[in-house]
Amino acid sequence: MTQFLLVFILLGAAATAYVLLRGIFTMAGGKDITGEKSNRLMIARVVLQGLTVLLVAILFFVYGGMAGN
The string of DSSP letters for 22-68 reads HHHHHHHHT--SS-HHHHHHHHHHHHHHHHHHHHHHHHHHHHHHHHT
pLDDT value of residue 63: 82
pLDDT value of residue 69: 52
- 27-68: pLDDT as tens digits: 888 888 888 998 999 999 999 999 999 999 999 988 876 655
Between 38 and 9, whose confidence is greater?
9
pLDDT value of residue 66: 60
pLDDT value of residue 27: 87
pLDDT value of residue 39: 92
